[in-house]
Structure 1
Amino acid sequence: MANAPELIATLLSHARVPLTPPTDDAALESLLTRAWEASRAQWNTVTIDAEVFVRHLAERFPEARPGASIESLIEPLSLPELYLACACGQGQPAAVEAFEQHYLAKLLGMLAYLKQPSAAVDDVCQLARVKLLVRTPDSEPRINDYTGRGALLSWVRVTAVRIALKLQAADKPSPDDDVAEVLDALPAPGVDAELDLIKQRHQTELRQALREAFATLASDERHLLRLYFVDRLSTTELGALLRVNQSTVSRWVKSARQRIYEETRRRLLARLNLSAGGFESFLAVLDSQFDVSMSQLFGEEERQPDGAMMKR
């Protein structure tokens, strides 16, 4: 077990707010040791070192009035739940299993008051799990944002509600930002007269066709594409999340994307009065830029690099 000076040094060196040095090292040692041991006892299948836990604790200390003791900052924290969150952030399977059993499993019932369709609530729960537990190329698991102030279950519920509100907003009619990137990627005026004419005259038809094509997918397919294109989870990560083979996820993504493309093409062909050659030229440009539009079509704010996209 780490001795008192080591734990205190960890606490003071990793705190992101100024801390008043302890007047009694032995008392603080006892407090930190008891906090670690009690937290470990509550989650007896989850093990993290005392120094790791104290560092995690220190990095989440709240702002305090000058002269406030370290003991007074620690006392109101939910330390066992902070311990579990720390282990989940490290990706420990036992911790993730405990978090799913004691927290995520309760989300479905806790979100019933939102009065949303069951499929929508399922989407929210799945997205909450990903946001909270999965590390992406751009971000750490959001469980690391939990500071121990307040109950972890309440914090998880608030996180899920925010996701639900964001999804609701994304489903509402909005300005035509969702396909703006596709349209902007078309050649500039003068490069191809017919393509420029299409861009000027048929923006409404293109946007509508893309939206209608997405609407033909089942909710689980839209959820899959959101995880793949917006959250940038690899097919390997998705396979682990959905408990299927990576090749199966690749097939699902490719199939859903292809159906969106073909449905968009079919609807545009029925609506646009263009020559066969002009229409095929337009589709060639649309095809080359199709993956770029995926995240915008989901109404998400995140911008994904082309390297993460799957080519048709």
Structure 2
Amino acid sequence: MRMEQVPGLASTFLVHAKVRFVPPVDALAFERLLIQAWETARAQWPSVELPAEPFVTHLAQRLPEASPQSPLEPLLGQLSLAELYLACACERGIPSAIDIFERHYLAKLPGLLRGPKQPDAMIDDVCQLARVKILVPTHEGAPKIAEYTGRGALLSWVRVTAVRIAIKLQAVEKPTSSQDADTVFAALPAPGFDAELDLIKRRHHTDFRQAVSEAFTVLSNDERHLFRLYFVDQLSMYELAALFRVNQSTVSRWLKTARQRVYEETQRRLQARLGLSSRDFKSFLAVLDSQLELGISQLLRQEDEAPGSSKQS
């Protein structure tokens, strides 16, 4: 079949197909087959407006592996066309599709994940993370729903995705306040970065670690949860904003407020513990400030400068 003789949708399909197959001999029959696939798929979701061309492109890229001698129609029959249509629309950020996906798929996740050894807090975390991972694009690429191939039920794919997230969360238990402090401390400059800072760190290493650990106890559960998602799970500012359904500037403000509380409480505890004079303590704070800035704020700054972020400070 010569490309110049192929109608629009069929031509698009041939360009984007990643596997070889035997197309219908008649070009018009080829076009009708694709139109029928599109109409059948969108009939399931009448409120979702997805044009034929992007759907056909999406479909062609997910055609299952087969013998080059396989005819096209049976290959299409192996795919869940309606759910591929919905997934394609979600990937493109169509609001009506995302609303349907949340109501028909994500809303069922808690029941699918709940078990005798699964605390509700963990299930809530998994469901929230699953929503972000599946529906929210990052500066690195498309949202995870783009990975759905249409081979198998979409709900099963969503459940598997969520279970993998749950396994990852269970593998790294929620850090205690002491572990949170260790995360911050590990991000501080290595020896050799600055002579004065090295001296202070060596001399007051234990005191500083203890003060930071104690300072974390003043944070609310929500603030510690936010820190855990940001530092341990390494969710980006963009993902956190989507997770909590707020602006990135709001997430940035939450993080900086929590950091400031840790900073001020660490100052207070260190001054009391070390018994420094006001003059000595002022000198010590200059170094302490650089440690906390290079620990927490450096990570915040990296997200502020990420693509798609309009300087969230």
The match for 1:276 among 271, 281, 294 is 281
CA distance, structure 2, for counterparts of residue 249 and residue 196 of structure 1 = 32
CA distance, structure 2, for counterparts of residue 162 and residue 213 of structure 1 = 33
When the two structures are aligned, how many residues end up with a matched partner? 297
Secondary structure of residue in 1 paired with 2:50:
coil
> Where does residue 36 of structure 1 map in the other structure?
38
1:291 partner letter? I
State the Cα distance separating 1:5 from its structure 2 match. 2.4
Secondary structure of residue in 1 paired with 2:237:
coil
1:256-297 CA distances to partner (integer Å, 9 max, x unpaired)?
3323434454565566687635632331211321335758xx
Q: Contact (CA 8 Å) 1:39, 1:80: kept in 2 or not?
A: yes
> Where does residue 102 of structure 1 map in the other structure?
104
Q: After the TM superposition, which of the residue ranges 127-136 and 66-75 deviates more from structure 2?
A: 66-75
1:192 partner letter? A
State the Cα distance separating 1:116 from its structure 2 match. 2.6
Alignment of 1:188 with 2:192, yes or no, is: yes
The match for 1:63 among 58, 62, 65 is 65
> Where does residue 235 of structure 2 map in the other structure?
231
> Where does residue 300 of structure 1 map in the other structure?
none
CA distance, structure 2, for counterparts of residue 248 and residue 311 of structure 1 = 8
2:46 partner letter? N
- Unpaired segments ≥5 residues, structure 2: none
The 1:152/1:205 distance shift into structure 2, 3 A limit, reads farther
2:134 partner letter? L
Identity of aligned residues (%): 56
1:61-118 CA distances to partner (integer Å, 9 max, x unpaired)?
2332342332232211111011000000111110000000000101111110272321
Q: Contact (CA 8 Å) 1:12, 1:19: kept in 2 or not?
A: no
State the Cα distance separating 1:24 from its structure 2 match. 4.3
> Where does residue 127 of structure 2 map in the other structure?
125
> Where does residue 25 of structure 2 map in the other structure?
23
* Structure number with larger C-alpha Rg: 2
Q: After the TM superposition, which of the residue ranges 4-13 and 25-34 deviates more from structure 2?
A: 25-34
Q: Contact (CA 8 Å) 1:232, 1:304: kept in 2 or not?
A: no
> Where does residue 89 of structure 1 map in the other structure?
91
Q: Contact (CA 8 Å) 2:248, 2:312: kept in 1 or not?
A: no
CA-based RMSD of the aligned residues comes to: 3.7
Alignment of 1:230-309 (within 5 A): 230-234=234-238, 238=241, 242=244, 249=251, 251-265=253-267, 276=281, 279-291=284-296, 304=302, 307-308=305-306
State the Cα distance separating 1:253 from its structure 2 match. 3.5
1:286 partner letter? Q
CA distance, structure 2, for counterparts of residue 25 and residue 210 of structure 1 = 70
1:168-188 CA distances to partner (integer Å, 9 max, x unpaired)?
2232679x98447523x2561
TM-score by length of 1: 0.77
State the Cα distance separating 1:46 from its structure 2 match. 0.2
Q: Contact (CA 8 Å) 2:271, 2:281: kept in 1 or not?
A: no
2:295 partner letter? F
> Where does residue 139 of structure 1 map in the other structure?
141
